[in-house]
Amino acid sequence: MAGFLQQIVTGLGAGAIYASLALALVLIYQFTGIVNFAQGELAMFSTYVAWTLVAAGMSFWLALVITLVVSFVGGMLIERVVIRPVEGAPELTIVIVTVGLFIFVNAAAGWIWTFLIKDFPNPFPGGALELGAVTVNFSTLGVLGVVALVMGLLYLLFQHTKIGLGMRAVATNPASARLVGIRVGWTLALGWGLAATVGAVSGVLVAPLLFLEPNMMAGVLIYAFAAATLGGFDSPVGAVVGGLVVGVAETLAGAYVGFIGSDLKIGVPLLIILAVLLLRPQGLFGRAAVERA
């Protein structure tokens, strides 16, 4: 039993990271109806920025703040420069552009920082909390806490600020948002900036657990897709719940299903995606159309 609980705790820690990247995916999907395949690579790039600052002698937390600001501005710039020209193009076109962005950012990171792996500092203390027979690492607690904080801040932004209201309006009805005077173009850019910031958090959280290298986020992105699909691509809450469930499911499957082990764990998100699409395509928290004519 203790072993089982231990696996769940480990799974939640991993899941929180998937949740944060899934959150970034969902943010952009809500605004534009497109899936940003480059989200993981942008997060990786942000993590390199943080690494560079720390390597230059900056304290971790200051480096993090600067990284988040850089990511926000970078996300907005990408929307303005790369996505804007294809705004209104068929979804496939935009998706291909994000795939191109994936390749470009990946290659750029390799060019700037090489493909050699780098050690990334863990911001959380090394000890652990003993809860009976279960051990919870401070770093797991830290990851869960950070993701909860990000969730809380996004909730405040969307539900209790005017900018947030404008962003929700653009996400639901851009034409009508324009008619009430909202600058839709800038709002979309803001959405990309936010998503890049949230993604950067996920990159910085995952880097100490894996090693920092340009392909670091590839696996995480697949789990984040599973998380967003499970939770519903249009639901930030769903993304987080989905992330946690996927993390736990993956860990439990690796530990208890003999033939899966640690090698086949990556198959778990695929199974989850397939099952959700078959049984409940809108996801657990997704919205089935409720409008009246």
Partner 1 sequence: MSDLVVDGLVAGYGDVRVLHGVSFTVRQGEVCAILGPNGAGKTTLLRALSGMVRTRGTATLGGTELAGRSPDTVARLGVAHVPEGRGTFMPLTVEDNLRLGAFVRRGRAEVEADLERIFTYFPVLKTRLKQEAGSLSGGEQQMLALGRALMLRPRLLLLDEPSLGLAPLVTRELFRIVQAINAEEQTTVVVVEQNAHLALGIAQQAHVLETGRIVLSGTAEDIRADEQVAQSYLGYRV
Binding mask 106-145 for partner 1 (x = CB under 8 A): ----------------------------------------
Task: Tell me the window of 46-54, 67-75, 86-94, 166-174 that interacts with partner 1 (CB under 8 A).
Answer: 166-174
CA 81, 225, 45, 167 dihedral sign is: positive
From 12, 182, 205, 221, residue interacting with partner 1 (rule: CB under 8 A): 182
Name the minimum Å distance from CB 234 to partner 1: 9
Tokens 């795939």 sit on residue: 99
Burial class from Cβ neighbours inside 10 Å (0-12, 13-18, 19+) for residue 282 reads middle
* Amino acid (1-letter code) at residue 50: A
Q: According to the binding rule CB under 8 A, does residue 56 interact with partner 1?
A: no
For every residue of 1-15, DSSP letters joined together read -HHHHHHHHHHHHHH
Q: Is residue 184 at the binding interface for partner 1, with CB under 8 A as the rule?
A: yes
Q: How far is the CB of 174 from partner 1 (least distance, A)?
A: 10
- One residue of 56, 180, 278, 279 binding partner 1 per CB under 8 A: 180
Chain CA centroid to CA 25, Å: 6
Contact segment (CB under 8 A) with partner 1 among 47-55, 139-147, 176-184, 209-217 equals: 176-184
The DSSP H or E segment spanning 63 is helix 60-78
Which two structure tokens, joined as six digits, stand for 163? 């900018």
Which residues here bind partner 1, judged by CB under 8 A?
162, 165-166, 168-169, 172-173, 175-184, 287, 290-293
